[in-house]
Amino acid sequence: MKNLYKKWILGILFVSLLAGQTCFASTMASLNRRIERAKTYLEDINAAPDKAIPESILSDCKGIIFMRMYNAGFVFGIKGGYGIVLVKNPKTHKWSPPAFIKYAGGSFGAQIGIQKIDAIFLIMNRRGIDMLMKTKFTVGVDASAAAGPVGRKFAGSVGPGTAILVYSRAKGLYAGATFSGAAFINDDAANHKFYNNNNITTQDILFKNKVSMPEIALPLIKDIKKYSEIYKTQ
């Protein structure tokens, strides 16, 4: 009876989570909040110099994914989330407008409870960028991932084979179990609504200059530049 009660409670949480995600994607105000939340988390993670994303890493990255993610489960688990992704033009070094993405999956094993995670995925090489050409991809499968180094003045190097560096509010740094077993998916409905175009794709937004930079994203772009080395040398 006790276990059934726990499963019933978790079931309610799962339904509430999924309903919340659907509602979240249904209004312009909520889509704007995805972008604003990305800016807030970038500021939060860079607030302490010894825990900040290194300037050199941020300036070298080819793209950034900002996600709010949820893990919940009792033996059977469910993962979900939503966020945005931007890429940097390799010639002009200008950032693309944000495209909207989702995160979903399931798992089985020793697990209980529910957890909210804010995460930043820095895309560091061509393989990581190629991953974004797909409508669905899995971090750790389509591209390798590793813990992101910290410290604003970090002077080390990142291995050329590492496609993605991950920073997470919940764990401080990347934990493989947190991000495995779930896929990132283009959030077409959100992109269509936000850009008022039912034919627009994530790839159109990121790579084909099909839309202009929305005003709501300008403060985020300014922060990305502020926390990178490139900003200080231009």
Residues whose CB falls within 8 Å of the CB of residue 175, separated by 6 or more in sequence, listed in order: 168
How confident is the model over 55-114, as pLDDT tens digits? 989 999 999 999 988 766 544 556 678 999 999 999 999 999 999 999 876 554 444 556
Q: Number of folded domains in the chain?
A: 1
Domain containing 175: what range? 2-233
Q: Dihedral of CA 87/172/42/85: which sign?
A: positive
Residue 64 near residue 85, CB atoms below 8 Å = yes
Which residue in 118, 14, 18 sits closest to 72, CA to CA? Answer: 14
Integer CA distances (angstroms), 66 to 10, 83, 192, in order: 26, 5, 19
Geometric angle at alpha carbon 210, from 208 and 214, rounded to 5° = 120
Q: Which tokens belong to 179?
A: 């991000």
User: Which of 29-43, 81-95, 96-110, 207-221 shows the lowest mean pLDDT across its residues?
Assistant: 96-110
Who has greater pLDDT, 125 or 196? 196
Predicted structure pTM score: 0.81
**What confidence tier does 161 reach under pLDDT thresholds 50, 70, 90?**
confident
